[in-house]
Structure 1
Amino acid sequence: MVQLHDAMRKLWMEHVQWTRSYVVSAIAGLKDQKDVLARLLKNQQDIGDAVKPFYGDAAGNKLVELLREHIMLAGKVLDAAKSGNQADLAKFNKEWYRNADDIAKFLSAANPNWSQKVQQDMLHAHLQFITDQVTARLKKDWKADILAYDKGQDHMLMYADMLSAGLISQFPDKFK
């Protein structure tokens, strides 16, 4: 149980950290942007791989697909915000939230301990924390940027704990 708990926290902390690195790189136009994106996408694979022992390869791969879409849409939202293209920002933001709802639906269907509404609320809050970081960074409001990151980090730890608790409840025999 402790190993699962710690592994889940590590995976979701990496998600937050590599997302942060990508936001910084993309907004600043740094040369490491593609490498950071590749590492962030690897994290999505790692998260999907972590659920395969519980739900199988097909479900793990489906989660990877949904999480990769989450990242690619986040990049489109960020690019639209950076360029000031309000039409694209609205369009991609809507798609980003739809993807979060798809992830919530997928996870809640896999585990009765993960309510779809709670999943949606948690994932929507995650998107808002990222939005707050991007908005603050674009405004060069470093204190607000850091605050949004810190709040998002705390939120993802709660999310990871919720996922671990759900797995432990659903598969108690795997933890004896």
Structure 2
Amino acid sequence: MRNKWMPALVFVLALSMGMTGGIGSAQANAGKQKDASCLTPKMVQLKTDMQKAWIDHTIWTRSYIVSALSNRPDQQDVLDRLLQNQQDIGNLIKPYYGEAAGNKLADLLREHIQIAGKIVAAAKAGNQADVTKLEADWHRNADDIAKFLSGANPNWSFKELQDMLYTHLQLITEIVLDCLKGDWKGDIAATDKNEIHMIHLADILTEGIVKQFPEKFKQTHSRRSQ
């Protein structure tokens, strides 16, 4: 009798285990769907806009370095585009911190670019004394940016932002030196690192804004007429 019922028992156990697995999978999928639903369109839009602005920052910074070091005729046009990017970044925070704060960030970032331009010129001329002095100004400006942002949002740590900005400066310096040496593979590698790094910074800024202003990112549902 025991042998007679064994196949049926095995079948029931297997079915039970399968159902348990199915329930577990359903719960996991539900969790994933819940996580996905937490990303509202407004969050996605800010994340996309912020990433694009900082990717543009890396693209046009390198483009300016190449133009300046090789005396290309597009140097001023590229610089104008790069400076516009700093205003674009400032504009992104205006809906949350106001017009004055957005313009202040843009001013700090323009100073970052202006110092970078002087460093490129000094490095090209082989003037190491000026490069050293300008690098100190560059890091002071990075401190000012980190201080300004961390003062606006408690979710943005001064030390974290400072570290992120210092790494950015280091990578730009590598690009300049690699271009001067004609180390194109090194230039490309540093540019790739810089882009990934700045996408990470963009995400830090986006996450901080969403945490500070959750009401601005709530999903809105249109009501159907009865």
- Give the TM-score category using the shorter length: over 0.9
Alignment pair present for 1:89 and 2:165: no
1:65 corresponds in structure 2 to: 107
Q: How does 1:19-30 map to 2 (within 5 A)?
A: 19-30=61-72
Give distance in 1, aligned partners of 2:119 and 2:137.
9
Give distance in 2, aligned partners of 1:142 and 1:43.
25
Deviations 1:47-78 (A, max 9, x none): 11110000001111110110000000000111
Deviations 1:123-172 (A, max 9, x none): 00000010000011100001100000000011001000111000000100
Give distance in 2, aligned partners of 1:118 and 1:79.
30
Q: Which runs of 5+ in 2 are unaligned?
A: 1-42, 219-226
Q: Which residue, 85, 88, 109 being the options, matches 1:43?
A: 85
Q: What secondary structure sits across from 1:114 in the alignment?
A: coil
Q: Which residue, 211, 214, 217 being the options, matches 1:172?
A: 214
Alignment pair present for 1:103 and 2:145: yes
User: Which letter maps to 1:91?
Assistant: K
2:177 corresponds in structure 1 to: 135
Give distance in 2, aligned partners of 1:52 and 1:76.
29
- Off by >2 Å, runs of 4+ in structure 1: none
User: Which letter maps to 1:158?
Assistant: H
- How many pairs does the alignment contain? 176
TM-score (norm 1): 0.99
Q: Which runs of 5+ in 1 are unaligned?
A: none
2:75 corresponds in structure 1 to: 33
How far off its partner does 1:20 sit? 0.9
Q: Which residue, 187, 193, 203 being the options, matches 1:161?
A: 203
* Larger gyration radius, structure 1 or structure 2: 2
User: Which letter maps to 1:141?
Assistant: D
- C-alpha RMSD over aligned residues: 0.5
How far off its partner does 1:87 sit? 1.0
User: Which letter maps to 2:172?
Assistant: I
